[in-house]
Structure 1
Amino acid sequence: MALKRYSLGAGSAALLCLCGPVLAGAQDTATGLIEGAQLQMQNRLVYEQLDYRHGSSFRATNGARGKTRARESGYGLMLNLQSGYTQGAVGLGIDAHVHGAINIDTQPDSARATPRYVAKNGQDIPRSFGRAGAALKLRVSSTELRLGEMRTRNPIFNSSDTRLLPETNRGWLLSSSDIPSLALQAGRFTAWADRNSRKNGGKLLANYSGANGDAFSFFGGTWTTPVKHWSLSSYAGQYEDYWNTWYLGSAYQLELAHKQALALSFNLYRNRDTGQARAGVVDNTTFSLMGSYATGIHRFGLGYQKVHGDTPFDYVNRGSIWLENAMQLSDFNGPGEASWQLRYDVDLATLVAPGLSAGIAYTRGTGIDNSRLTPIYASYLGYAGSNGRHWERDLLLRYTLRQGAAKGLALLLRYGVHRVNPAQGEANIDQIRVQAEMPVQLF
């Protein structure tokens, strides 16, 4: 679909018109700025080792090339304040956050030139780094407008929180749940802070072209249908002067018998160049379909994903890819790529210990054609050739304490293996990641 250059003023006005005070809304129960406030502290400790195999190597932060093993470790502390709302027809409030991190034992000669967890300053890795931000919020009924620095969650502009610190964005976000069964969003963002950024306000970045942009705008929402356990989502967005994005998603679960269920998940993205088309010709349609069967403590899944187009499926923000085969080490989103996934998850609470779970997945992609990449993708990725193929194997163990003084403490172990042929373009990697998280509700 063709979207014109816009600031989404029309989209936000439409949301406001739809969200009149017909029904009682969340603002009716406002208790005040202080009375409704919450302050949470999240502690996170991460260690990761990436072992590059079979000819793969990386360039270290200090400039040394040909390294085969990268290691990083760090501690992150996140304070998140959510105020309540003032009482009245229009409620006012503020959300604020402070994110800080300490480099534990990451050395310049063992961290990648683009570190995954810690910050970088030239060829140096600082001992500590952090940033802070805030957003003003206004609420009428159950419709809220936020302005400032914040995190977002939707399939085309989603803030990732899979590393040491979460990423944030600067702009405005309008969300509403005033219409029964509909959750609506519209927004426009003009700046970004990556997960290891030392400050806010960086230019937006696309993951696979490396293209910096001035703005990303979007609108859409999710409809909880009258059919039990079935929801539909649709979003439209624009990466200004690069491409338009349209998304359609669906999730459905069918209860079969006691502790048995079938689930289906479908995600479809459509990207087409727009405006000055600074990434060149973009004409990409990518979809994924995942089916799973759960019985007792076991869940078995089978997924398929397909990319149609001469460029990878590209996206802005690290987490804006809700495709089922976007795995730990690869997104399986190469030009023309088709991929399959087999996965198995088990809840080990009754067999081993309460709070323990595990999962394993195997994903294989073939048919990748990097021979027709547009110049911006070819220069950024450095991929070439056709008939690319690769596979990935992932293992996850998670243990969460459910009671006691350390209730909520989560321990994670990830092990991943990724193997490629030369035409695929990524690296042969063995990954080990150990992570510990401890949330504390201060008030």
Structure 2
Amino acid sequence: MQVMKWSVIALAVAAGTSQMAVASSQSESNGFIEDSSFNIFNRVLYMNRDFRNGPNTAGTGDKGYREETGLGIRLLYESGFTQGTVGVGFDAHSLSSIKIDSGRGRYGTGQFAQTGDGRGDDTQTEVGGAVKLRISDTVLKYGSQFVASPVFSTDDSRILPEVATGTYLVSNEIEGLELSAGRFTAMSSQTATGRDTLSEGGNTIKSANIFGANYSFTDNLSAGLHHSDVEDFFKKTYVNVNYNLPLAEDQALNFDLNGYKTKGDGQELAGDVDNKIWSLAAAYSLGAHTFTVAHQRASGDNGYYYGVDGGGTIWLANSVQYSDFNQEDEKSWQARYDINMASYGVPGLSFMTRYIRGTAADSYTERELDIEAKYVIQEGAAKDLSFRIRNAFYRDNAQGDVNDFRLIVEYPLSVL
């Protein structure tokens, strides 16, 4: 494996050297101001969770029911790059949350920080920025940023996202090949306004180092290999293979394989983590319809562990609305159906439903049924305004039953 890694790097260097005359992103830069953008992203999230078996024992002191509504406003500025061999730029963001509805008896959906009297905080604001450099098709960014790596992924499942602080390098010098590397030392949660050191269970760590490569062999076949070292917690490796098989003009088969191997390292602050987990999904698309089946399986001494490396670091088929189906030795199956109503004269309207059943150690079983509908306005003053309903019915034979309902309204505005 080490030989392959060095071969890929050597190939990238050689290609970059031999293709200096080929136009790159930096050579086509129009300037710092000319290529800049400013966007406002608004999200309203109404969310309730009904713990049908009585009060949840997780520690919030609620009566078995949580219900909150919040508004998230994101101001996102991205500059262009200065012209020349080395381009310089700057990104900045402001993230604000506004509590619309909450209460001591209903707090705990993960949208707001908690006040001293047990209520959701009325308002929160976080600002941050990052400097960036670009040479050819390679970008180096340092500062506060959103990250989407399979081994370090900031979560965006509430009104505001997590934000990581660190250095991230992404290189696309060879067509079809993307190389990435990063070092992150802090992260703000979805309910916090400041950047704290990466932590889990009261333990802080010094760094999370990540490396990755994605390569598109053809238009229909791609693969990825990523690795992370979260100091004193674990080392994690991720693999992915995605293959699309066109069958006819409006038919195709898609196969998506994802897998993680996680092993405790250093002080093992998360415990003796030793887990392998993988999922394989097969999707058949026929015009407006998509039919998917997926299988996911975990093995090792415990379940798949994530969170300190970002709340979105679980790129698996059966990580769904409420459950991840990632318990120790768990095996789960999914059946899913999607329909895009554009083919029936209603562009912007789509539906999805899926059912997942998992069995794990000690006769543990869990089931989840998800039903979703989404509509995006296609034109006019409210173009791109979207409405999304997500409804999950979760049942298990150990921890209790949960109904999870979410109404999400999003409105992106491009100012510049």
> So what's the TM-score if we normalise by structure 1?
0.87
From 208, 218, 221, the equivalent of 2:213 is: 221
3-state DSSP class of the match of 1:411?
strand
Q: Are 2:404 and 1:428 equivalent residues in the alignment?
A: no
**1:311 matched residue in structure 2:** 302
**2:321 matched residue in structure 1:** 328
Deviation at 1:278, TM superposition (A): 2.5
**2:36 matched residue in structure 1:** 37
Once the two structures are superposed, the pairs formed by residues 346-365 of structure 1 within 5 Å of their partners are: 346-351=339-344, 353-365=346-358
Once the two structures are superposed, the pairs formed by residues 186-205 of structure 1 within 5 Å of their partners are: 186-199=181-194, 201-205=195-199
Q: Are 2:67 and 1:75 equivalent residues in the alignment?
A: no
Deviation at 1:246, TM superposition (A): 0.6
Change (3 A) 1:339 1:212: farther
Once the two structures are superposed, the pairs formed by residues 15-26 of structure 1 within 5 Å of their partners are: 17=13, 19-20=16-17, 22=20, 23-26=22-25
- Structure-1 separation of matches of 2:203 and 2:326: 17
Change (3 A) 1:142 1:15: farther
Gaps of 5+ in 1: 3-9, 370-385
**2:83 matched residue in structure 1:** 87
**1:440 matched residue in structure 2:** 413
Deviation at 1:258, TM superposition (A): 2.0
Tell whether the 8 Å contact from 1:81 to 1:96 is kept in structure 2 after alignment. yes
3-state DSSP class of the match of 1:27?
coil
From 375, 381, 384, the equivalent of 1:408 is: 384
Tell whether the 8 Å contact from 2:212 to 2:224 is kept in structure 1 after alignment. yes
Deviation at 1:35, TM superposition (A): 1.1
Deviation at 1:276, TM superposition (A): 2.2
Tell whether the 8 Å contact from 1:83 to 1:95 is kept in structure 2 after alignment. yes
Once the two structures are superposed, the pairs formed by residues 45-60 of structure 1 within 5 Å of their partners are: 45-55=44-54, 57-58=56-57
The code of the aligned residue for 2:226 comes to Y
The code of the aligned residue for 1:215 comes to S
Q: Are 2:139 and 1:136 equivalent residues in the alignment?
A: no
Change (3 A) 1:117 1:178: same
Deviation at 1:98, TM superposition (A): 0.3
- Structure-2 separation of matches of 1:146 and 1:314: 28
Q: Are 2:251 and 1:251 equivalent residues in the alignment?
A: no
Deviation at 1:263, TM superposition (A): 0.5
From 371, 374, 384, the equivalent of 1:398 is: 374
The code of the aligned residue for 2:211 comes to F
Deviation at 1:267, TM superposition (A): 0.3
- Structure-2 separation of matches of 1:56 and 1:336: 28
- Structure-1 separation of matches of 2:10 and 2:328: 37
Tell whether the 8 Å contact from 1:72 to 1:118 is kept in structure 2 after alignment. no
Deviation at 1:351, TM superposition (A): 2.9
- Structure-2 separation of matches of 1:211 and 1:56: 28
From 218, 222, 228, the equivalent of 1:231 is: 222
Tell whether the 8 Å contact from 2:102 to 2:119 is kept in structure 1 after alignment. no
Tell whether the 8 Å contact from 2:12 to 2:174 is kept in structure 1 after alignment. no
- Structure-2 separation of matches of 1:170 and 1:15: 30
**2:277 matched residue in structure 1:** 286
**1:375 matched residue in structure 2:** none
Change (3 A) 1:72 1:187: same
3-state DSSP class of the match of 2:237?
strand
- Structure-2 separation of matches of 1:335 and 1:287: 13
Q: Which has the higher strand share?
A: 2
- Structure-2 separation of matches of 1:56 and 1:271: 33
Deviation at 1:325, TM superposition (A): 0.2
- Structure-2 separation of matches of 1:202 and 1:16: 36
Deviation at 1:407, TM superposition (A): 0.4
- Structure-1 separation of matches of 2:51 and 2:349: 30
Tell whether the 8 Å contact from 2:88 to 2:134 is kept in structure 1 after alignment. yes
Change (3 A) 1:121 1:213: farther
**1:372 matched residue in structure 2:** none
**1:374 matched residue in structure 2:** none
Tell whether the 8 Å contact from 2:374 to 2:388 is kept in structure 1 after alignment. yes
Change (3 A) 1:428 1:325: same
3-state DSSP class of the match of 1:186?
strand
Q: Are 2:95 and 1:119 equivalent residues in the alignment?
A: no
Tell whether the 8 Å contact from 1:135 to 1:149 is kept in structure 2 after alignment. yes
- Structure-1 separation of matches of 2:414 and 2:248: 38
Change (3 A) 1:14 1:220: farther
RMSD: 2.1
